[in-house]
A and B are shown apart, each in its own frame.
Chain A
Amino acid sequence: MLAGKHITAHYPGAAVPALHDVSCHVDRGEILGVLGPNGSGKSTLLSALSGMLALREGTALLDGVDVTALSHRERARRMAWVPQRPENIPDLTVRDMVLMGRYAHLPFLGRYGAGDKALVEAAMREADVERLADRSACTLSGGEFQRALAARAFAQCAPAQDFSGEHDETFFLDEPSAGLDAAHAVALFDTVRQRVARYGSRVVVAIHDCNLAALYCDRMVFLQGGRVLASGTVTELYTESMLYALYGARFSIVPHPTTGLPQALLIPGESA
Chain B
Amino acid sequence: MKLHSRARVSLFWAVALGAVCLSVPAACLFGHYPLEFSRVLRLLAAGLSGSGAADGDTAYLVVNGIRLSRVCLAFLAGAGLAASGVVFQGILRNPLADPFTLGVSGGAAFGAALAISTGLAAALLPVAAFAGAATALLLVLFLAQAGGSLRRETLVLAGVVVAAFLSALISLIKALDEESVPGIVFWVMGSFQNRGWDDIGLLLPGFVLGLLPILFLARELDILALGDDEALRLGCNAPRARLWLLLGASAVTASCVAVSGVIGFVGLIVPHLVRLILGSRHVPLLIGSALVGGLLLLWSDVLARSLLSEGRELPVGVITALLGGPFFCLLLHRAARPQARPLTRSSATSRPAGQAGKDDGATRC
B229 to chain A: which residues have CB within 8 Å? 52, 83
A92 to B285, CA, bound (A): 12
B346 to chain A: which residues have CB within 8 Å? 142, 179-180
A95-112 CB mask vs B (1 if < 8 Å, else 0) is 010001101101001000
B236 to chain A: which residues have CB within 8 Å? 72, 76, 103-104
B321-365 CB mask vs A (1 if < 8 Å, else 0) is 000000000000000000000110011011111110001111111
A136-152 CB mask vs B (1 if < 8 Å, else 0) is 10111110010000000
In the complex, which of the residues A12, A52, A138, A139 contacts B233, with contact meaning CB atoms closer than 8 Å?
A: A52
Q: Is the CB of A91 within 8 A of B365?
A: yes
Q: Is the CB of B93 within 8 A of A88?
A: yes
- Which of B222, B230, B235 counts the most chain A CB atoms within 10 A? B235
Q: Is the CB of A91 within 8 A of B275?
A: yes
The reply on A77 being an interface residue by CB < 8 A is yes
A83 to chain B: which residues have CB within 8 Å? 229-230, 233
B364 CB, min distance to chain A CBs, angstroms:
6
Q: Is the CB of A88 within 8 A of B226?
A: yes
- Contact of A178 with B350 at beta-carbon distance under 8 Å, contacts A91-B279, A138-B365 already known: yes
A52 to B225, CA, bound (A): 18
Q: Is the CB of A84 within 8 A of B359?
A: yes
Q: Is the CB of B235 within 8 A of A73?
A: yes
A161 CB, min distance to chain B CBs, angstroms:
19
- Contact of A75 with B235 at beta-carbon distance under 8 Å, contacts A86-B230, A96-B281, A142-B342 already known: yes
A134 to B5, CA, bound (A): 10
Q: Is the CB of A86 within 8 A of B227?
A: yes
A83 CB, min distance to chain B CBs, angstroms:
6
A84 to chain B: which residues have CB within 8 Å? 347, 351, 355, 359
A135 CB, min distance to chain B CBs, angstroms:
7
- Contact of A87 with B279 at beta-carbon distance under 8 Å, contacts A136-B1, A138-B1, A156-B234 already known: no
A42 CB, min distance to chain B CBs, angstroms:
9
- Which of A72, A101, A106 counts the most chain B CB atoms within 10 A? A72
B361 to chain A: which residues have CB within 8 Å? 87-88
A241-265 CB mask vs B (1 if < 8 Å, else 0) is 0000000000000000000000000
With CB as the reference atom, state the residue of chain B lying closest to A149: B230
Q: Is the CB of B232 within 8 A of A178?
A: no
- Contact of A103 with B227 at beta-carbon distance under 8 Å, contacts A38-B354, A89-B365, A136-B365 already known: no
Main secondary structure of the interface of B (DSSP, over half): loop
A77 to chain B: which residues have CB within 8 Å? 235
In the complex, which of the residues A38, A39, A145, A175 contacts B343, with contact meaning CB atoms closer than 8 Å?
A: A145
With CB as the reference atom, state the residue of chain A lying closest to B340: A139
B163-186 CB mask vs A (1 if < 8 Å, else 0) is 000000000000000000000000
B223 to chain A: which residues have CB within 8 Å? 100, 103
The reply on A43 being an interface residue by CB < 8 A is yes
Q: Is the CB of B1 within 8 A of A91?
A: yes
The reply on A227 being an interface residue by CB < 8 A is no
The reply on A24 being an interface residue by CB < 8 A is no
B359 to chain A: which residues have CB within 8 Å? 84-87
The reply on A80 being an interface residue by CB < 8 A is yes
Q: Is the CB of B343 within 8 A of A76?
A: no
A209 CB, min distance to chain B CBs, angstroms:
11
The reply on B148 being an interface residue by CB < 8 A is yes
A92 to chain B: which residues have CB within 8 Å? 222, 279-281
The reply on B3 being an interface residue by CB < 8 A is yes
B225 to chain A: which residues have CB within 8 Å? 88, 90
Q: Is the CB of A38 within 8 A of B352?
A: yes
The reply on B219 being an interface residue by CB < 8 A is yes
Which residues of B in the span 89-103 have a Cβ within 8 Å of any Cβ on A? Answer: 93
Q: Is the CB of A109 within 8 A of B216?
A: yes
The reply on B118 being an interface residue by CB < 8 A is no
A19-43 CB mask vs B (1 if < 8 Å, else 0) is 0000000000000000000111001
A40 to chain B: which residues have CB within 8 Å? 354
The reply on A222 being an interface residue by CB < 8 A is no
The reply on B237 being an interface residue by CB < 8 A is yes
The reply on A167 being an interface residue by CB < 8 A is no
The reply on A224 being an interface residue by CB < 8 A is no
With CB as the reference atom, state the residue of chain A lying closest to B355: A43
With CB as the reference atom, state the residue of chain A lying closest to B240: A72
B218 CB, min distance to chain A CBs, angstroms:
11
- Which of B219, B234, B353 counts the most chain A CB atoms within 10 A? B234
The reply on A202 being an interface residue by CB < 8 A is no
A52-85 CB mask vs B (1 if < 8 Å, else 0) is 1000000000000000000011111100110111
A142 to B361, CA, bound (A): 16
A180 to chain B: which residues have CB within 8 Å? 346
- Contact of A38 with B226 at beta-carbon distance under 8 Å, contacts A89-B364, A91-B275, A103-B236 already known: no
A141 to B234, CA, bound (A): 23
- Contact of A38 with B355 at beta-carbon distance under 8 Å, contacts A12-B148, A89-B364 already known: yes
A247 CB, min distance to chain B CBs, angstroms:
12
B342 to chain A: which residues have CB within 8 Å? 141-142
A72 to B346, CA, bound (A): 32
In the complex, which of the residues A85, A90, A141 contacts B280, with contact meaning CB atoms closer than 8 Å?
A: A90
Supply 19 A–B pairs (Cβ within 8 Å), ascending by A.
A12-B148, A38-B354, A72-B237, A84-B351, A86-B226, A87-B359, A87-B361, A88-B227, A89-B365, A91-B1, A91-B280, A92-B280, A103-B223, A104-B235, A136-B3, A139-B1, A141-B343, A179-B343, A179-B351
Ranked 6 nearest A-B pairs via Cβ: A76-B235, A104-B235, A39-B354, A87-B361, A179-B350, A90-B280
- Excluding A39-B353, A72-B232, 18 further A-B contacts by CB distance (< 8 Å) are A39-B352, A52-B229, A52-B232, A85-B359, A87-B359, A88-B363, A90-B365, A91-B1, A91-B275, A91-B280, A92-B222, A100-B226, A104-B236, A109-B216, A136-B3, A142-B342, A179-B349, A208-B352
